[in-house]
Chain A
Amino acid sequence: MKYLGHVVDHLRKDLRLEWRSRDSINGMLFFVLLIVVVFSIAFDPAGYPTTTRQISGGILWVGILFASITALNQSWTREQRNQVLEAQRMAPSPASALFLGKALANMLFVLVVEAVLAPIFVIFFNLQVLGNAWLLALILPLGTWALVVNGTFFAALGLRARNRELLLPLLLLPISLPAILMMVQATTGVLTADLDPIQIRTWITQLAGYDVIYTTVCILLFETVLNSE
């Protein structure tokens, strides 16, 4: 229980810091709106309605991916000012609690952005969900967590690297490719109703498995990364 207490403390700290300036959220929201517009110009939903429905899952997730990378990149910078990171290392709470708190905070930010993005997306792309829309409420968080948990970890990995902002997508994307495949296939399956429920369920199960495996690995290895100097 104490562990959860630590996690919640870290989470509240990040949320409070973000609430004070709201830089990250505002930036992400506007960025995501711009992405939807760019994709609309690029993929012409009015001109090719069937095709865009078939690729809409992919477009949605690419948009979320770009938005999360912008958030993740600066999620550790507030720990670098005023030598906060040294203080974190010396704190008695386990390092993984810091990681989980931050990952959960990032998750909340991206979910808020998704909640705003999804309706805009539906409007601009004239989307009608042909399958079971409630499944999306399961797929979106699972997929987002897959990106956020690894993203938060790799952002910490590259903390002292030169070219830190470039390094995050270079590390995150290859490792996340199977997860991206799973979330896009599941989302497209629901949106187009081309896949039958068993296939969609398999993708969702795989995605959940990916989440469990990588959350465990991140929690186990975060202490090593925090104390890597």
Chain B
Amino acid sequence: MARSSVLRSTAWLWLLATVAVLVVGFRQAIFVAPTEATMGNLQRIFYYHVPHAILGLVFPYINLVASLGFLYWRRRDPLKALTADALAVASAEVTVLYVGICLGSGMLWGKPAWGIWWAWDPRLTTALILWLIYVSYLLLRRFSPAGQIGVLAAVLAVFAAIDVPIVYMSIRWWRTQHPAPVFGGGPDSGIDPAMMPAFLWNLAGWAMWGIFLIAFRFALERRRQIAEQDAALQAIEASLETPQ
């Protein structure tokens, strides 16, 4: 039990550090970073939008690795497979959260900047399809019968991960043909060095937060799995005690 209290302390420390970084990031973004020339204060949305967009492209790969691990361990070591499955669902949910925030903040930026809520440009469209794919992953998990959730979800995760680069390439080719307004020329296309600290603090803060959320959700899923196993064990033992 010493191990679990070490984990608990680490978790709390990490959370405190994350909140501290996020507070610094907020201060940098709102109060310290210079106002952008063309877009004005609206541009400060990028300090939240872009980190979420970047992280939303990283977390699906955690899901992919966990799903592949599940498929590999399914017959070889069922307990490891169960752990992999918990990581898969945790990273998928956090992906949906982050990509959803990326879409929402992108739209809220777009309306004042361009006068339209949405443009079918490569980045935003890819983000939308990514979000739809991982929502469908979560729906499959919800609709599958209990014993099969892990396998079916892991298989879909492989399809999803393969699709992401295909989506990006096809949408980009589409938009090379029919150009549309590009939402967010984005800080990665020549960011003013004075804005870098704000961007980096927020990137670090939201990355730490994302890791914390995945770890917490993972622990919750493990707790749920163990509770389920205990309940099943009790049911079996109870049926054995019943006089024949």
Contact = CB atoms under 8 A, between A and B. Distances in A.
A208 interface: no
A175 B133 contact: yes
A203 B135 CA distance: 27
Given A157-B152, A210-B166, A175 B174 contact: no
B143 A224 contact: no
A135 interface: no
A175 B136 CA distance: 9
A228 to B, nearest CB: 4
Interface stretch (B157-165, B214-222, B233-241): B157-165
B167 A228 contact: no
Contacts, number: 86
A202 B173 CA distance: 9
Contacts of A217: 158-159, 162
Contacts of A137: none
Given A157-B156, A160-B145, A177-B129, A171 B167 contact: no
Contact of A157 (B155, B173, B174): B155
B108 interface: no
A210 to B, nearest CB: 6
B171 interface: yes
A98 to B, nearest CB: 16
Interface residues of A, number: 32
- How would you classify the secondary structure of chain A's contact residues: helix, strand, loop or mixed? helix
B144 interface: yes
A205 B147 CA distance: 40
Contact of A225 (B132, B147, B155): B155
Contact of A228 (B133, B148, B160, B170): B148
28 contacts: A150-B159, A157-B140, A157-B156, A158-B140, A158-B144, A158-B152, A160-B144, A160-B148, A161-B140, A161-B143, A161-B144, A161-B145, A162-B145, A171-B140, A174-B133, A174-B135, A175-B133, A178-B129, A181-B174, A195-B177, A202-B173, A206-B170, A214-B159, A221-B158, A224-B71, A224-B155, A225-B151, A228-B152
3 closest Cβ pairs, A-B complex: A174-B132, A228-B151, A178-B170
Interface of A: 150, 157-158, 160-163, 167, 170-171, 173-175, 177-178, 181-182, 185, 195, 199, 202-203, 206, 210, 213-214, 217, 221, 224-225, 228-229
